Structure 1
Amino acid sequence: MNSTLAVIINIPMLFLVYVLMYFTQALSGKRQFYGVSLNSDYFAKKEFKNLDKKFKLLLTVGFIAFVIITLVSIYIFEAYLASSIIPILGFCLYQFIIFVYIHNKVKALKQDLSLEIHDLELKKTKIILDTDFINEKNRIIKKYSMLFWIPLIINLLVAIYTATQYNSMPDIIPTHWGFTGEADAFSQKSFFSVFGNVFMSIGVGIIIYISSVNSLKSRAKLNSDNINESKKAHLNYLNKIAFTFFILNLSCQVLFINILIATVNASNVNTYIMWTATILLVVSSIYQTYVYYKSPSKYKDAVYSVDDDDDNWIFGSIYNNHNDPSLFVQKRFGVGWTVNIGSIKGKILFFSPFIIVIVILFIAFNIQ
């Protein structure tokens, strides 16, 4: 990699992270403001708007600083690999720090204003239990839960095939492929270099499956003022989200399968398959973000539930409620779902990605 290519790759990635974070509050719905439950009528109140501006200013300053760090890493130290990892990780950590800072400011402001304004809190309505709606929701979840198994099973079969071909594989195998699909890094065949990809693909596949199913099971908040229209909107939303999860699952597993087959054959990856799966992954992610943004559970008039309580959240971003049976709940800040670490399953799922990263680094170290 040369300096020009490093800039072309790294700066746009940094900018993408910046843009996504800049508009995160706008995508967070009408129930929370920087991770704090708040009546959306007051989102535009001067004090809260000033905190929003402060977050965006600090974010912009951080973005400029990490762009400079990236350019210095590339042109002065010629650390091309480091410039692809350290600035992005550093910027993500910086984002979290300033989010927590603004979150605490919003929380304190809400507490101060509540002394004179009595409707800052979300309206605490009663939870609606509709058996017909629950049965239809469970039917959709069951159908897609079965579909989610298909790419995972196919990946498992390819992993088994990879294991059976280990002895016949050449001594030197590819470990990385470029944009054109051509292998550009190689290593000696070993248990870690081959089965590391196998274990990683299966592990990621299992995590994606569990996350997808439990995200669909997350709490749906109906509107008590218009129950029939609300049920229809929720079921339509659930079908769309489930379909995007299926495409995401399929795309990820196809990418892993493509890599495993290329590893077995010591060849280039299939470019057509690689780019088709990648495009599907990006398009379905964007569409899922849009569908999630339209989630009826994020509307102001959705019923109040336990995950709307500020006391059940750490830093406004980590849900911790051992009395809530839900494994996943919708995020307060941004798009997607987060794990309830109040349960043992939640703790395991929460730390699984960190374990996978450690395993990947361990494999990479042993390949070297």
Structure 2
Amino acid sequence: MFFLNYVVFILIILFTHLLALSIQSMSGKQYFFGVYIKEIIIEENVKKKINKDFKKKLNISIILSIILYLILKDIFKVNIGANIILSTTVYFVLFYLILRLEYKKIKYIKTVYLQNITSNNNKKQIIERVTIKEDEELTKLKKKLIKKFKILFGICVVLSIVSLLYVVLNYKNMPDVVITHWGGNGKPDGFAAKNIINVFFINFIDLSMVILFAVLGVGSVCSNTYIDTGNIEKNRQRAIKYLNGIGYSFFVLTLSIQSITTTIPVFMVQEKDIPMWLTITSCILPIFISIVLMYYYIMLNSLKPKNRGAYTIENDDEKWIYGFIYCNKEDPKLTVEKRLGMGWSINMANPLGKFITVIIFVMTVGSLLICFI
């Protein structure tokens, strides 16, 4: 148990740190820390210096997070669940602040570059933009994928609803004091009086998480997919293959996390320990699935148009807040490709996007609260 507490945290924080360190290398050459730079030139030595400074700050951040974890565990005796969430949250906050700082640096460099071009047109010219759209044939092929993944993620939602109904049917027979938390060894270590909030809170978190992953999974397949027109037929088939991989990766990722969130209410009703293998699997398996997901993102990204002048609606800097929050009323899509890292960002101007953001916030706060019950 003592060893497990450290292993789980180290695996989570190291994986998170590796992803953070690699976020720029996974972003594609047209973006640099969230800024669209395809139409400008930044000296390589400047890029290297900014990258080095970024990684140095991140390394300091992970050290601070580990120190915080040790302090909370050994001095304040905070339980492992709450400790992991608090320590990783601190890391994410520092990560956000560092990203925002680097974004401002690049934005300033781009502004100065464009001002110099405007003042002296004889030196350099801005590359003429060629606005591109998703291939129509690819859009038709994607419709079948979207339908399939709606069904698969619908199964996940049904499983969560079944878990909720199981608790509803057994609510009256549950004891006056119920289990609300299990330790890293699977043994109950938190209890509370039976009421609607204490009993159904985990079901709420579970169902919200599954719906969120379903929206992100299906949304990833629905998002605009731009491919190079050279050897168009082959690129279409490869794009479908990679979108399939992304969809299935999200599906398996959802099931792996759901294996613990959907079953916890059942263990609560039956007043049983959670098997160690289930706890460990639900913590470690998502890490490996995320690696597979990253592979498909990289491969899909490799199909994008190579023309330096290719421009899409998502490339407009003014539609992004600090390079990682997308807000565009002119774009009907719920999700668009991220500028930082791999994957898709939610369009905050979309009503559903705002709803999902609220769900994420509630889930985050709820996860913190449930660990402290």
TM-score by length of 1: 0.87
Whole-angstrom distance in 2 between the partners of 1:40 and 1:56? 26
Which has the higher mean CA deviation after the structures are superposed, 182-191 or 257-266?
182-191
What's the counterpart of residue 49 of structure 1? 48
Give the conservation status (yes or no) of the 8 Å contact 2:130–2:311: yes
The answer to whether residue 85 in structure 2 is matched with residue 78 in structure 1 is no
Deviation at 1:181, TM superposition (A): 2.9
Give the conservation status (yes or no) of the 8 Å contact 1:222–1:230: yes
Pairing of 1:337-352 with structure 2 (within 5 A): 337-352=344-359
Pairing of 1:53-202 with structure 2 (within 5 A): 53-75=52-74, 77-81=75-79, 83-114=83-114, 115=116, 118=124, 124-202=129-207
Counterpart of 2:218 (choices 184, 209, 213) is: 213
Deviation at 1:334, TM superposition (A): 1.3
Whole-angstrom distance in 2 between the partners of 1:128 and 1:60? 40
Deviation at 1:333, TM superposition (A): 0.6
Which has the higher mean CA deviation after the structures are superposed, 112-121 or 85-94?
112-121
Give the conservation status (yes or no) of the 8 Å contact 2:166–2:266: no
Percent of pairs with identical residues:
28
Counterpart of 2:247 (choices 242, 254, 273) is: 242
What's the counterpart of residue 318 of structure 2? 311
Whole-angstrom distance in 1 between the partners of 2:164 and 2:292? 30
Whole-angstrom distance in 2 between the partners of 1:80 and 1:47? 43
Structure 1 SS opposite 2:233 = helix
Q: Which amino acid in 1 is paired with 2:87?
A: P
Whole-angstrom distance in 2 between the partners of 1:50 and 1:21? 17
Give the conservation status (yes or no) of the 8 Å contact 1:32–1:38: yes
Which has the higher mean CA deviation after the structures are superposed, 207-216 or 80-89?
80-89
Whole-angstrom distance in 1 between the partners of 2:278 and 2:9? 25
What's the counterpart of residue 24 of structure 1? 23
Deviation at 1:315, TM superposition (A): 0.4
Whole-angstrom distance in 2 between the partners of 1:363 and 1:11? 22
Change (3 A) 1:70 1:265: closer
Give the conservation status (yes or no) of the 8 Å contact 1:258–1:274: no
Q: Which amino acid in 2 is paired with 1:61?
A: I
Give the conservation status (yes or no) of the 8 Å contact 1:100–1:315: yes
What's the counterpart of residue 120 of structure 2? none
Change (3 A) 1:255 1:334: same
Pairing of 1:250-265 with structure 2 (within 5 A): 250-265=255-270
Q: Which amino acid in 2 is paired with 1:257?
A: T
Deviation at 1:273, TM superposition (A): 4.6
Structure 2 SS opposite 1:224 = coil
Whole-angstrom distance in 2 between the partners of 1:73 and 1:129? 50
Structure 1 SS opposite 2:331 = coil
Unaligned runs of 5+ in 2: 118-122
Whole-angstrom distance in 2 between the partners of 1:277 and 1:65? 26
Deviation string 1:231-260 (CA, Å, 9 cap, x unpaired) is: 122111111111112212222333223212
Deviation string 1:313-353 (CA, Å, 9 cap, x unpaired) is: 10011001000001111111112221101122222212221
Which has the higher mean CA deviation after the structures are superposed, 320-329 or 183-192?
183-192
Whole-angstrom distance in 1 between the partners of 2:30 and 2:305? 6
When the two chains are superposed, the root-mean-square deviation of aligned CA atoms in Å is: 2.9
Whole-angstrom distance in 1 between the partners of 2:126 and 2:71? 46
Deviation at 1:276, TM superposition (A): 4.7
Unaligned runs of 5+ in 1: none
TM-score by length of 2: 0.86
Change (3 A) 1:17 1:249: closer
Q: How many residues align?
A: 363
Change (3 A) 1:106 1:310: same
Deviation at 1:268, TM superposition (A): 1.4
Whole-angstrom distance in 2 between the partners of 1:7 and 1:273? 18
